[in-house]
Amino acid sequence: MATYKNSFGFFVLPVMVLALLTLQAEGQGLKVGFYEKSCPHAEKIVTTVINEVMAVAPSLSGPLLRMHFHDCFIRGCDGSVLLDSPTNQSEKFSPPNLSLRGFNIIDRVKLALEKACPGVVSCADIVALVARDVTVATKGPFWEVETGRRDGNVSLISDPINPATGLPPFFANINLLKQSFALRGLNTKDLVVLSGGHTIGMSHCSSFDSRLYNFTGEGDTDPSMDPNYIARLKLKCKQGDQTTLAELDPGSFKTFDDSYYKLVTKRRGLLQSDAALLNDPETRAYLVQSTSHGSTFFKDFGVSMVNMGRIGVLTGSQGEVRKVCSKRN
């Protein structure tokens, strides 16, 4: 899901750290309707702003959904991805986060909430609510978002590329992907379901350049990718192109649907991490099921988003509620 190149490799975390991360993933202290009394119109305010944004900038749906993933996978869902740094040393300046967009939209939502209920709604909760609302705005499923997260005040540029606990890279194989999700208390079904978020959004050509031009270092293409699709992608992406964007789900990249799974089963997944879903019996079975009339993808996506939203949360008196999402109080 992340679009960057991690040169560090990937290593297994110690069992104690794994247990700690799994424990944190339970999301104690979160509940649906947390702001019912303190800011009764909070969710309505978020939805109103997002619908206004989607009406004029629908291409921000993918980046805003992805922002929640990038936030939760690093230090838990604590809004740390939003923090600025005077020396550009916070998470948002880390290589995998340089392609994130929509920080100004989070600020816009925060401004509206601060006007209605000063100092009440956390930035971490805003990111979670926005992810749900952009999904709905692109004709995807609705789910009840648990709220009550507090904002963290630690954000380090090194965390997203940490070889043990960083974001799973776009070139990850199925074992690395499963390991990365397991470290956060998520299972294989969560992995394949959340990968379906690639039904909306774009990716830089540089994220799959090697699959088209130099897969093993000998000027070859990735044999696991449909050669007709490779030919089409080469028309859009010249070798070494760092700027052009390609659709993750061609033909319906602005609509949240199950067509991503159809593409992956036809060996047309754009990223190596997409194609990797064919290399595991459980993920492959889900791909097949999701291309049939018995697809449960929409329902499953809401469940897995709730699971992800519980990773490493700060609640109660932990952390803070930022007044401005890009700055510590």
Distance CA 287, CA 196 (A): 9
Out of 70, 198, 204, 293, the active site residue is: 70
Distance CA 129, CA 113 (A): 12
User: Which amino acid is it at 97?
Assistant: N
SS3 (DSSP) at 97:
helix
Give the Cβ contact number of residue 22 at 10 Å: 15
DSSP assignment letter at 40: T
Element (H, E) at 246: strand 245-247
Instruction: Kindly report the backbone phi and psi dihedral angles of residue 320, in degrees, each rounded to the nearest multiple of 5, phi listed first.
Output: -155, 175
SS3 (DSSP) at 123:
helix
Scanning the chain, the segments in alpha helix (DSSP H) are 15-24, 42-56, 61-72, 103-116, 123-137, 174-182, 188-195, 209-213, 227-236, 259-265, 272-275, 281-290, 297-308
Look up residue 293 and give its two tokens.
Answer: 């009339």
User: Which amino acid is it at 84?
Assistant: D
Pairing relationship of beta strands 245-247 and 31-32 according to DSSP bridges:
unpaired
70 in catalytic set: yes
Q: Could you list the active site residues? A: 70
